[in-house]
Structure formats: C-alpha cells, structure tokens
Homo-oligomer: A and B are copies of this chain.
Amino acid sequence: MEEDRQVAPPGASSDKSDKPRPKRHARHAPARQRTGRPKGTGRRAPPEVDPATVIFGLHASAFALDNPDRRIKAIHVTENAERRLGDAIERHRRLVVRASPRDLDKRLGPDTVHQGIVLDVEPLEPSSLASLTASAREKAAPIIILDQVTDPHNVGAVLRSAAVFGAAGIVMTHRHSPPLGGALAKAASGALELTPVCLVRNLADAIAEIRAEGLVVIGLDVEGTDFLEDALAPGPSPQALALGAEGKGLRALTRQSCDRLCRIGGDGPISSLNVSNAAAVALHLAAMRRRRTKES
C-alpha cells in the first residue's frame, strides 16, 4: 500500500534515509545471493552474521526446532530459555551450546531481542511458483505477492498473518526482499517454518505465470477503483493479492500486470495502511469468504 498520498508532503513518501549505510561485507555473498539477501537491510545485525542463517526468539526457535525440513547446525541457548523450550530442544540435545545472555548480545548486537536462544541454521529451500499456484487452487486460498517490501518486520508479520489465515504462500523477488531468517523469522513468530515462500527474479513474469494458472491477481492500491471487500465477495476464486512497500507502493509494471486494482475501504483522515496490516485485512477477507462458502 502507498503511504498517505493525499496528505504527505511531496517527496516524503520515499523510505530512503538520509543516513549513510554501513558498508556490506562480501564474506557470505554466495549464501546471501541464494537466499535473496537485499542491499542494506541487515543494518542492525553485526555484518559478520548473515540473517538468513540465524533464528532467534522463543517462538521462532520453537517452530524451527519442530520443523523436519529445517537443518539446525547449533543451538546457542541460556539455561532459562532451555527450560522454557523443553522438549523442542531435547530432541536436538547434541547441538546445544550453553550461552549467557551476554554471549548472545555480543553475537547479534545489543538491540536484538533474542530471548535467550539463537539457532545457527541452513536457510529453507524456497518453494516453486507451480507448487504455490497448485496449493492456491486446491485450498481456494490466496497467494500474497510482495513487491519490494524490504522491511523484515513487515514481511515477518505478513508471513504470520498468512499462517493464521491459511494463505497458499508468499511470492517475492530475490532482490529487494529481506533475508529469510533473523528479524523476519522473529516477527513471523514461527510462520517462516509453515508458510511456503517463493523467490522470483522478475515479479511481472511471476504475475503473468500466476494468471496463466487461472488465478485472478488483485493489486492493492490507495487509488484502486473498487473496495477490496466488493471485489472479493462475488469474484472468481482462487486469487492472488499484490502489495507494495511503504512509501513506494506497487511499481508501475506490477500495477499493469494485475487483473485489477482495489483499495481497502476506510473513511478516516489517513488513506494508507502499514503493509502488514493491509495484508492482514485482505487475508482475513479471503478467509471469511472461504468460511462462508463452506458453510453455505
């Protein structure tokens, strides 16, 4: 969703900071390439940690430890956190490395809320677009398409809502998307282990492929002509919903690639929702519709 187009000062919609960005280190470049690490989004983590290869926080770690597809390499954990996680850790006993809160602070930087546990992991295998569209058709569940949403907390929150409302999965670009681990995994609160993510090179091509598979692709935009609730209610199923980044919204080519553009209805003084809130509203509408179809 775009930010506040009507009310914002000109140019204020850019999410670029005036601040100089720290230099990136190339040491993990291959892994970052593979896992779609974007430029400059790892600002809070010390540069030697690739966010795609760590999971921290109690919820995110518990789900990762329970995920048979997740390869765990080491579990750095405080006594306190280990007690809280119980069985989930017990199954991986030989990987446990006792750590103090200070050890973990040192590793991830003092501002990371690790809750006493940091896992060293391999990134999950990304899903294929074909598997997502097949699942969307089978479950009549939407696919969420994210157009260069770079903030890991936002993408993590979208993953969490996708898991709550049973979305088929998330499509995003290799570049200009946050690493699939670290802060994103923490914000996803376990959902990174549950919701398929497909990384594509070109979003317009991916949208074309999704449409070719029979899905209707709706772009969410404050200037959309119809309310999303009206578009979803009687519309054909299954669907995909495209959302853009804070400030920039959907890019022109993404917009043109969609079947239609819709807005989320509000009558307040600001026109644009935070992207994860817009995704939650859209996913909830789709879930309500699915529930009513089942009940009727």
Residues on A facing B (Cβ under 8 Å):
3-4, 7-14, 16-20, 43-44, 58-59, 62-63, 78, 80-81, 83-88, 101, 104-105, 111, 113-116, 153, 157, 160-167, 187, 189-191, 194, 227, 229, 264-274, 276-281, 284, 287-288, 290-291
Contact = CB atoms under 8 A, between A and B. Distances in A.
A287 B265 contact: yes
A270 B43 contact: no
A266 B166 contact: yes
Count of chain copies: 2
A114 B17 contact: yes
Given A4-B190, A62-B12, A153-B153, A273 B161 contact: yes
Which 8 pairs of residues, A with B, have the shortest CB-CB distance?
A: A18-B116, A166-B268, A277-B280, A11-B84, A12-B58, A163-B270, A164-B266, A165-B266
Contact of A266 (B11, B20, B81, B287): B287
A268 B4 contact: no
A162 B268 contact: yes
Contacts of A88: 9
A3 B14 CA distance: 33
